Structure 1
Amino acid sequence: MSRARQSRTAPKGAGNEEFEPEKRRAILHAAVRVFAEKGYHGCRIADVARAANVAYGLVYHYFRNKDELLESVFAEQWTIFINALAAIDAGQGTAGDKIAGIFGFVFDVYKTAPSAVRVLILEVTRTPQGLRAGSTRETFEKAVGLVADVVRQGQARGELRADADPIVAAATILGGLELAVSGMVVGLVPASTEEEIDRVKNQVVGLALVGLRA
Protein backbone atom coordinates (compact mmCIF):
# COMPACT_ATOMS: atom_id res chain seq x y z
CA MET A 1 0.00 0.00 0.00
CA SER A 2 1.41 3.40 -1.02
CA ARG A 3 2.03 6.19 1.48
CA ALA A 4 -0.65 8.26 -0.26
CA ARG A 5 -3.24 5.54 0.32
CA GLN A 6 -2.08 5.01 3.90
CA SER A 7 -2.63 8.69 4.67
CA ARG A 8 -6.29 8.30 3.75
CA THR A 9 -7.00 5.31 5.98
CA ALA A 10 -8.16 5.51 9.56
CA PRO A 11 -5.24 6.00 11.95
CA LYS A 12 -4.43 3.28 14.46
CA GLY A 13 -6.85 3.44 17.37
CA ALA A 14 -9.34 5.55 15.41
CA GLY A 15 -12.20 3.72 17.09
CA ASN A 16 -11.85 5.90 20.18
CA GLU A 17 -14.97 8.05 19.75
CA GLU A 18 -14.22 10.20 22.79
CA PHE A 19 -11.61 12.28 20.97
CA GLU A 20 -12.75 12.06 17.35
CA PRO A 21 -15.50 14.74 17.43
CA GLU A 22 -13.09 17.22 19.02
CA LYS A 23 -10.42 16.59 16.39
CA ARG A 24 -12.90 16.84 13.54
CA ARG A 25 -14.25 20.09 14.95
CA ALA A 26 -10.71 21.47 15.29
CA ILE A 27 -10.05 20.67 11.62
CA LEU A 28 -13.32 22.34 10.54
CA HIS A 29 -12.54 25.49 12.53
CA ALA A 30 -9.02 25.58 11.12
CA ALA A 31 -10.42 25.15 7.61
CA VAL A 32 -12.65 28.19 8.12
CA ARG A 33 -9.64 30.31 9.08
CA VAL A 34 -7.51 29.06 6.19
CA PHE A 35 -10.30 29.39 3.60
CA ALA A 36 -10.95 32.95 4.80
CA GLU A 37 -7.26 33.86 4.63
CA LYS A 38 -6.17 32.11 1.43
CA GLY A 39 -9.45 31.39 -0.35
CA TYR A 40 -10.66 27.90 -1.17
CA HIS A 41 -8.59 27.56 -4.34
CA GLY A 42 -5.49 29.09 -2.76
CA CYS A 43 -5.20 26.76 0.21
CA ARG A 44 -4.02 23.18 0.58
CA ILE A 45 -4.93 20.37 2.94
CA ALA A 46 -1.47 20.78 4.44
CA ASP A 47 -2.35 24.38 5.34
CA VAL A 48 -5.47 23.19 7.17
CA ALA A 49 -3.56 20.45 9.01
CA ARG A 50 -0.93 22.97 10.12
CA ALA A 51 -3.57 25.43 11.32
CA ALA A 52 -5.39 22.66 13.23
CA ASN A 53 -2.10 21.36 14.66
CA VAL A 54 -2.84 17.83 13.50
CA ALA A 55 -1.09 15.34 11.25
CA TYR A 56 -1.64 15.77 7.52
CA GLY A 57 -3.09 12.26 7.19
CA LEU A 58 -5.63 12.86 9.97
CA VAL A 59 -7.46 15.41 7.83
CA TYR A 60 -8.01 12.63 5.25
CA HIS A 61 -9.33 10.38 8.00
CA TYR A 62 -12.32 12.69 8.40
CA PHE A 63 -12.59 14.22 4.91
CA ARG A 64 -11.95 12.60 1.53
CA ASN A 65 -10.62 15.78 -0.06
CA LYS A 66 -10.76 19.57 0.05
CA ASP A 67 -14.20 19.64 -1.60
CA GLU A 68 -15.71 17.53 1.16
CA LEU A 69 -14.01 19.69 3.78
CA LEU A 70 -15.58 22.84 2.34
CA GLU A 71 -18.97 21.12 2.07
CA SER A 72 -18.72 20.15 5.73
CA VAL A 73 -17.96 23.75 6.68
CA PHE A 74 -21.07 24.90 4.78
CA ALA A 75 -23.23 22.15 6.28
CA GLU A 76 -22.14 22.93 9.84
CA GLN A 77 -22.76 26.66 9.50
CA TRP A 78 -26.17 26.16 7.86
CA THR A 79 -27.18 23.77 10.63
CA ILE A 80 -26.30 26.40 13.24
CA PHE A 81 -28.33 29.01 11.36
CA ILE A 82 -31.38 26.78 10.92
CA ASN A 83 -31.30 25.80 14.59
CA ALA A 84 -31.14 29.47 15.57
CA LEU A 85 -34.13 30.28 13.33
CA ALA A 86 -36.11 27.42 14.86
CA ALA A 87 -35.33 28.62 18.40
CA ILE A 88 -36.35 32.19 17.56
CA ASP A 89 -39.55 30.99 15.87
CA ALA A 90 -40.51 28.91 18.92
CA GLY A 91 -39.56 31.59 21.45
CA GLN A 92 -41.46 34.43 23.08
CA GLY A 93 -41.85 37.98 21.82
CA THR A 94 -43.54 39.95 19.08
CA ALA A 95 -42.91 39.29 15.41
CA GLY A 96 -40.79 42.45 15.34
CA ASP A 97 -38.72 41.15 18.25
CA LYS A 98 -38.19 37.84 16.49
CA ILE A 99 -37.22 39.42 13.17
CA ALA A 100 -34.79 41.65 15.04
CA GLY A 101 -33.50 38.50 16.77
CA ILE A 102 -32.78 36.84 13.43
CA PHE A 103 -30.73 39.81 12.28
CA GLY A 104 -29.12 40.08 15.71
CA PHE A 105 -27.98 36.46 15.63
CA VAL A 106 -26.29 36.80 12.25
CA PHE A 107 -24.67 40.14 13.07
CA ASP A 108 -23.40 38.77 16.38
CA VAL A 109 -21.84 35.84 14.50
CA TYR A 110 -20.18 38.38 12.21
CA LYS A 111 -18.71 40.11 15.27
CA THR A 112 -17.38 36.94 16.88
CA ALA A 113 -16.53 34.79 13.85
CA PRO A 114 -16.03 37.03 10.80
CA SER A 115 -13.93 34.36 9.10
CA ALA A 116 -16.83 31.92 9.06
CA VAL A 117 -19.17 34.53 7.58
CA ARG A 118 -16.57 35.53 5.00
CA VAL A 119 -16.19 31.93 3.86
CA LEU A 120 -19.95 31.41 3.60
CA ILE A 121 -20.54 34.62 1.67
CA LEU A 122 -17.58 34.46 -0.71
CA GLU A 123 -16.83 30.78 -1.25
CA VAL A 124 -20.41 29.54 -1.74
CA THR A 125 -20.69 31.79 -4.80
CA ARG A 126 -17.33 30.70 -6.19
CA THR A 127 -17.56 26.99 -5.49
CA PRO A 128 -20.48 25.01 -6.96
CA GLN A 129 -19.66 22.08 -4.64
CA GLY A 130 -20.78 24.22 -1.72
CA LEU A 131 -24.33 24.15 -3.03
CA ARG A 132 -24.49 20.41 -2.42
CA ALA A 133 -24.09 20.72 1.34
CA GLY A 134 -26.07 23.37 3.14
CA SER A 135 -27.22 25.72 0.42
CA THR A 136 -29.69 23.24 -1.02
CA ARG A 137 -33.28 23.91 -1.99
CA GLU A 138 -34.39 21.95 1.07
CA THR A 139 -32.29 24.13 3.36
CA PHE A 140 -33.55 27.36 1.81
CA GLU A 141 -37.13 26.12 2.05
CA LYS A 142 -36.63 25.35 5.73
CA ALA A 143 -35.13 28.79 6.43
CA VAL A 144 -37.85 30.60 4.51
CA GLY A 145 -40.53 28.46 6.17
CA LEU A 146 -39.31 29.32 9.67
CA VAL A 147 -39.20 33.04 8.96
CA ALA A 148 -42.59 32.86 7.23
CA ASP A 149 -43.99 31.28 10.40
CA VAL A 150 -42.76 34.29 12.37
CA VAL A 151 -44.58 36.54 9.89
CA ARG A 152 -47.78 34.51 10.22
CA GLN A 153 -47.62 34.78 14.01
CA GLY A 154 -47.35 38.55 13.69
CA GLN A 155 -50.26 38.68 11.27
CA ALA A 156 -52.44 36.59 13.57
CA ARG A 157 -51.76 39.01 16.43
CA GLY A 158 -52.33 42.07 14.27
CA GLU A 159 -48.70 43.17 14.50
CA LEU A 160 -47.92 42.78 10.80
CA ARG A 161 -49.85 43.56 7.63
CA ALA A 162 -52.47 40.92 6.91
CA ASP A 163 -52.12 41.34 3.15
CA ALA A 164 -48.41 40.49 3.08
CA ASP A 165 -47.57 37.08 1.64
CA PRO A 166 -45.55 35.33 4.42
CA ILE A 167 -43.30 33.50 1.95
CA VAL A 168 -42.51 36.66 -0.01
CA ALA A 169 -41.92 38.54 3.24
CA ALA A 170 -39.58 35.81 4.52
CA ALA A 171 -37.61 35.70 1.27
CA THR A 172 -37.28 39.49 1.37
CA ILE A 173 -36.06 39.44 4.98
CA LEU A 174 -33.45 36.74 4.31
CA GLY A 175 -32.40 38.34 1.03
CA GLY A 176 -31.89 41.70 2.70
CA LEU A 177 -29.94 40.04 5.47
CA GLU A 178 -27.63 38.26 3.03
CA LEU A 179 -26.97 41.40 0.98
CA ALA A 180 -26.29 43.52 4.06
CA VAL A 181 -23.76 41.01 5.36
CA SER A 182 -22.24 40.61 1.90
CA GLY A 183 -21.76 44.38 1.78
CA MET A 184 -19.87 44.25 5.07
CA VAL A 185 -17.74 41.30 3.98
CA VAL A 186 -16.55 42.97 0.76
CA GLY A 187 -16.07 46.36 2.43
CA LEU A 188 -18.92 48.16 0.68
CA VAL A 189 -20.72 48.73 4.00
CA PRO A 190 -18.53 50.07 6.84
CA ALA A 191 -18.26 47.40 9.55
CA SER A 192 -14.81 47.66 11.08
CA THR A 193 -16.07 48.25 14.63
CA GLU A 194 -18.86 46.80 16.76
CA GLU A 195 -20.54 50.21 16.74
CA GLU A 196 -20.62 50.25 12.94
CA ILE A 197 -21.93 46.68 12.82
CA ASP A 198 -24.70 47.53 15.30
CA ARG A 199 -25.62 50.62 13.29
CA VAL A 200 -25.98 48.55 10.12
CA LYS A 201 -28.03 45.93 11.97
CA ASN A 202 -30.43 48.50 13.41
CA GLN A 203 -30.93 50.18 10.05
CA VAL A 204 -31.55 46.89 8.24
CA VAL A 205 -34.02 45.73 10.91
CA GLY A 206 -35.88 49.04 10.72
CA LEU A 207 -36.08 48.90 6.95
CA ALA A 208 -37.27 45.30 7.00
CA LEU A 209 -40.08 46.13 9.41
CA VAL A 210 -41.26 49.36 7.75
CA GLY A 211 -43.13 47.55 5.01
CA LEU A 212 -44.45 44.79 7.27
CA ARG A 213 -45.88 46.59 10.28
CA ALA A 214 -49.64 46.89 10.42
Structure 2
Amino acid sequence: MKRDKPKYKQIVDAAIIVIAENGYHQAQVSKIAKEAGVADGTIYLYFKNKEDILISVFKEKMAIFIEDLEEILKRNISTSEKLFKMIDNHFRLLHEDRYYAIVTQLELRQTNKELRMQINGVLKEYLTLLDNILKEGMDNGTLDDSIDIRLARQMVFGTMDETLTSWVMKDQKYDLMKLSVGVHRLIMKALQA
Protein backbone atom coordinates (compact mmCIF):
# COMPACT_ATOMS: atom_id res chain seq x y z
CA MET A 1 0.00 0.00 0.00
CA LYS A 2 1.43 3.38 -1.03
CA ARG A 3 0.54 5.04 2.29
CA ASP A 4 3.10 2.89 4.07
CA LYS A 5 5.93 4.13 1.86
CA PRO A 6 8.22 6.82 3.32
CA LYS A 7 8.13 8.96 0.16
CA TYR A 8 4.34 9.09 0.25
CA LYS A 9 4.47 10.51 3.78
CA GLN A 10 7.28 12.91 2.79
CA ILE A 11 5.17 14.22 -0.08
CA VAL A 12 2.03 14.61 2.08
CA ASP A 13 4.00 16.45 4.78
CA ALA A 14 5.71 18.65 2.18
CA ALA A 15 2.37 19.43 0.50
CA ILE A 16 0.96 20.71 3.80
CA ILE A 17 3.87 23.13 4.20
CA VAL A 18 3.84 24.31 0.57
CA ILE A 19 0.06 24.81 0.48
CA ALA A 20 0.11 26.63 3.84
CA GLU A 21 2.96 28.94 2.77
CA ASN A 22 1.90 29.61 -0.84
CA GLY A 23 -1.83 28.97 -0.95
CA TYR A 24 -3.40 26.05 -2.79
CA HIS A 25 -3.55 27.75 -6.19
CA GLN A 26 0.14 28.79 -6.08
CA ALA A 27 1.34 25.46 -4.67
CA GLN A 28 2.90 23.93 -7.76
CA VAL A 29 3.75 20.24 -7.82
CA SER A 30 7.40 21.23 -8.43
CA LYS A 31 7.43 23.21 -5.15
CA ILE A 32 5.95 20.22 -3.31
CA ALA A 33 8.57 17.92 -4.87
CA LYS A 34 11.39 20.29 -3.87
CA GLU A 35 10.09 20.54 -0.27
CA ALA A 36 9.77 16.74 -0.12
CA GLY A 37 13.28 16.26 -1.55
CA VAL A 38 12.05 14.17 -4.46
CA ALA A 39 12.04 14.55 -8.24
CA ASP A 40 8.90 16.06 -9.77
CA GLY A 41 8.14 12.75 -11.52
CA THR A 42 8.18 10.90 -8.20
CA ILE A 43 5.06 12.79 -7.15
CA TYR A 44 3.14 11.19 -10.02
CA LEU A 45 4.05 7.70 -8.83
CA TYR A 46 1.87 8.39 -5.78
CA PHE A 47 -0.66 11.02 -6.92
CA LYS A 48 -2.60 11.77 -10.11
CA ASN A 49 -2.39 15.56 -9.77
CA LYS A 50 -2.39 18.43 -7.27
CA GLU A 51 -6.05 17.87 -6.39
CA ASP A 52 -5.27 14.25 -5.53
CA ILE A 53 -2.47 15.47 -3.26
CA LEU A 54 -4.86 17.80 -1.42
CA ILE A 55 -7.50 15.09 -0.95
CA SER A 56 -4.81 12.66 0.22
CA VAL A 57 -3.48 15.22 2.71
CA PHE A 58 -6.97 15.64 4.12
CA LYS A 59 -7.64 11.87 4.22
CA GLU A 60 -4.34 11.11 5.94
CA LYS A 61 -4.77 13.78 8.60
CA MET A 62 -8.49 13.18 9.09
CA ALA A 63 -7.72 9.52 9.78
CA ILE A 64 -5.88 10.68 12.93
CA PHE A 65 -8.89 12.73 14.09
CA ILE A 66 -11.17 9.74 13.46
CA GLU A 67 -8.91 7.24 15.26
CA ASP A 68 -8.62 9.55 18.28
CA LEU A 69 -12.37 10.12 18.41
CA GLU A 70 -13.06 6.38 18.14
CA GLU A 71 -10.80 5.88 21.17
CA ILE A 72 -12.65 8.61 23.08
CA LEU A 73 -16.00 6.95 22.29
CA LYS A 74 -14.77 3.63 23.73
CA ARG A 75 -14.00 5.19 27.11
CA ASN A 76 -16.35 4.74 30.02
CA ILE A 77 -16.86 8.47 30.57
CA SER A 78 -19.89 10.76 30.49
CA THR A 79 -21.33 12.28 27.33
CA SER A 80 -20.11 15.69 28.49
CA GLU A 81 -16.57 14.37 28.97
CA LYS A 82 -16.63 12.72 25.52
CA LEU A 83 -17.70 16.01 23.97
CA PHE A 84 -14.97 17.88 25.85
CA LYS A 85 -12.31 15.34 24.84
CA MET A 86 -13.43 15.61 21.21
CA ILE A 87 -13.18 19.41 21.24
CA ASP A 88 -9.88 19.38 23.10
CA ASN A 89 -8.39 16.73 20.79
CA HIS A 90 -9.59 18.57 17.66
CA PHE A 91 -7.99 21.79 18.86
CA ARG A 92 -4.80 20.03 19.99
CA LEU A 93 -4.20 18.31 16.66
CA LEU A 94 -4.45 21.60 14.79
CA HIS A 95 -2.59 23.54 17.49
CA GLU A 96 0.33 21.13 17.12
CA ASP A 97 0.44 21.43 13.31
CA ARG A 98 0.14 25.09 12.38
CA TYR A 99 0.63 24.41 8.68
CA TYR A 100 -2.18 21.87 8.62
CA ALA A 101 -4.37 24.34 10.54
CA ILE A 102 -3.85 26.89 7.75
CA VAL A 103 -4.63 24.27 5.09
CA THR A 104 -7.86 23.09 6.77
CA GLN A 105 -9.19 26.45 7.88
CA LEU A 106 -8.29 28.54 4.84
CA GLU A 107 -7.04 26.66 1.80
CA LEU A 108 -9.58 23.81 1.67
CA ARG A 109 -12.34 26.39 1.48
CA GLN A 110 -10.92 27.96 -1.67
CA THR A 111 -11.09 24.82 -3.78
CA ASN A 112 -13.65 24.03 -6.44
CA LYS A 113 -17.01 22.45 -5.70
CA GLU A 114 -15.95 18.94 -6.80
CA LEU A 115 -12.97 18.99 -4.45
CA ARG A 116 -15.10 20.29 -1.58
CA MET A 117 -17.55 17.43 -2.15
CA GLN A 118 -14.70 14.91 -1.85
CA ILE A 119 -13.49 16.65 1.32
CA ASN A 120 -17.02 16.53 2.76
CA GLY A 121 -17.07 12.81 2.04
CA VAL A 122 -13.95 12.33 4.16
CA LEU A 123 -15.35 14.55 6.92
CA LYS A 124 -18.61 12.57 7.02
CA GLU A 125 -17.08 9.71 9.04
CA TYR A 126 -15.87 12.14 11.70
CA LEU A 127 -19.26 13.84 11.89
CA THR A 128 -20.98 10.45 12.22
CA LEU A 129 -18.87 9.82 15.34
CA LEU A 130 -19.95 13.22 16.69
CA ASP A 131 -23.55 12.16 16.03
CA ASN A 132 -22.90 9.07 18.18
CA ILE A 133 -21.91 11.29 21.12
CA LEU A 134 -24.97 13.47 20.63
CA LYS A 135 -27.33 10.46 20.35
CA GLU A 136 -25.84 8.91 23.48
CA GLY A 137 -26.43 12.17 25.37
CA MET A 138 -30.00 12.42 24.10
CA ASP A 139 -30.67 8.79 25.06
CA ASN A 140 -29.23 9.09 28.58
CA GLY A 141 -30.92 12.43 29.36
CA THR A 142 -27.73 14.54 29.41
CA LEU A 143 -28.75 16.39 26.25
CA ASP A 144 -32.18 17.67 25.21
CA ASP A 145 -33.72 14.85 23.18
CA SER A 146 -35.98 17.26 21.28
CA ILE A 147 -33.03 18.90 19.51
CA ASP A 148 -32.61 18.16 15.80
CA ILE A 149 -29.40 16.12 15.66
CA ARG A 150 -28.31 17.70 12.37
CA LEU A 151 -28.58 21.18 13.87
CA ALA A 152 -26.75 20.03 17.00
CA ARG A 153 -23.95 18.57 14.86
CA GLN A 154 -23.70 21.77 12.84
CA MET A 155 -23.60 23.85 16.01
CA VAL A 156 -20.86 21.75 17.63
CA PHE A 157 -18.69 21.40 14.54
CA GLY A 158 -19.42 24.96 13.40
CA THR A 159 -18.40 26.40 16.77
CA MET A 160 -15.13 24.44 16.73
CA ASP A 161 -14.51 25.36 13.11
CA GLU A 162 -15.14 29.09 13.58
CA THR A 163 -12.96 29.15 16.72
CA LEU A 164 -10.13 27.53 14.74
CA THR A 165 -10.58 29.83 11.75
CA SER A 166 -10.38 32.92 13.99
CA TRP A 167 -7.23 31.53 15.61
CA VAL A 168 -5.61 30.93 12.20
CA MET A 169 -6.70 34.36 10.90
CA LYS A 170 -5.10 36.00 13.94
CA ASP A 171 -1.82 34.24 13.02
CA GLN A 172 -2.22 31.79 15.90
CA LYS A 173 -1.11 34.48 18.36
CA TYR A 174 -3.04 33.17 21.35
CA ASP A 175 -3.31 29.81 23.09
CA LEU A 176 -6.02 27.86 21.29
CA MET A 177 -5.95 25.13 23.94
CA LYS A 178 -7.26 27.54 26.58
CA LEU A 179 -10.47 27.84 24.55
CA SER A 180 -11.45 24.15 24.83
CA VAL A 181 -13.12 24.61 28.22
CA GLY A 182 -15.12 27.68 27.15
CA VAL A 183 -16.26 26.13 23.87
CA HIS A 184 -17.31 22.95 25.69
CA ARG A 185 -19.21 24.91 28.34
CA LEU A 186 -21.03 26.97 25.70
CA ILE A 187 -22.02 23.88 23.71
CA MET A 188 -23.17 21.97 26.79
CA LYS A 189 -25.34 24.88 27.96
CA ALA A 190 -26.97 25.04 24.52
CA LEU A 191 -27.64 21.29 24.32
CA GLN A 192 -28.45 20.29 27.90
CA ALA A 193 -31.81 18.83 28.79
TM-score normalised by the shorter chain: which range applies?
0.7 to 0.9
Instruction: Determine if the alignment matches structure 1 residue 134 to structure 2 residue 119.
Output: yes
Consecutive unaligned residues of structure 1, counting only runs of 5 or more, are: 1-16
Consecutive unaligned residues of structure 2, counting only runs of 5 or more, are: none
CA distance in structure 1 between the aligned counterparts of 2:168 and 2:61, rounded to whole angstroms: 16
1:13 counterpart residue number: none
Moved over 4 A (4+): 17-20
| TM-score, normalised via structure 2 length | 0.88
Match of 1:58 among 42, 58, 64: 42
SS of the residue corresponding to residue 120 of structure 2 reads coil
Instruction: Determine if the alignment matches structure 1 residue 185 to structure 2 residue 164.
Output: no
Match of 1:75 among 15, 40, 59: 59
CA distance in structure 2 between the aligned counterparts of 1:19 and 1:177, rounded to whole angstroms: 29
Deviates more, 1:41-50 or 1:18-27: 18-27
Match of 2:100 among 103, 116, 123: 116
Match of 1:162 among 145, 152, 170: 145
User: Could you tell me which amino acid in structure 1 is paired with residue 141 of structure 2?
Assistant: G
Cα distance 1:163–1:127, how it changes in 2: closer, same or farther (>3 A)?
A: same
Deviates more, 1:172-181 or 1:156-165: 156-165
Q: How many equivalent pairs are there?
A: 192
Higher fraction of helix: 2
Where relative contact order (Cα < 8 A, 6+ residues apart) is larger, the structure is 2
Deviates more, 1:106-115 or 1:30-39: 106-115
Summarize the alignment of residues 2-13 of structure 1 with structure 2, pairs less than 5 Å apart.
none
1:199 counterpart residue number: 178
Counting aligned pairs with the same residue, the percent is 25
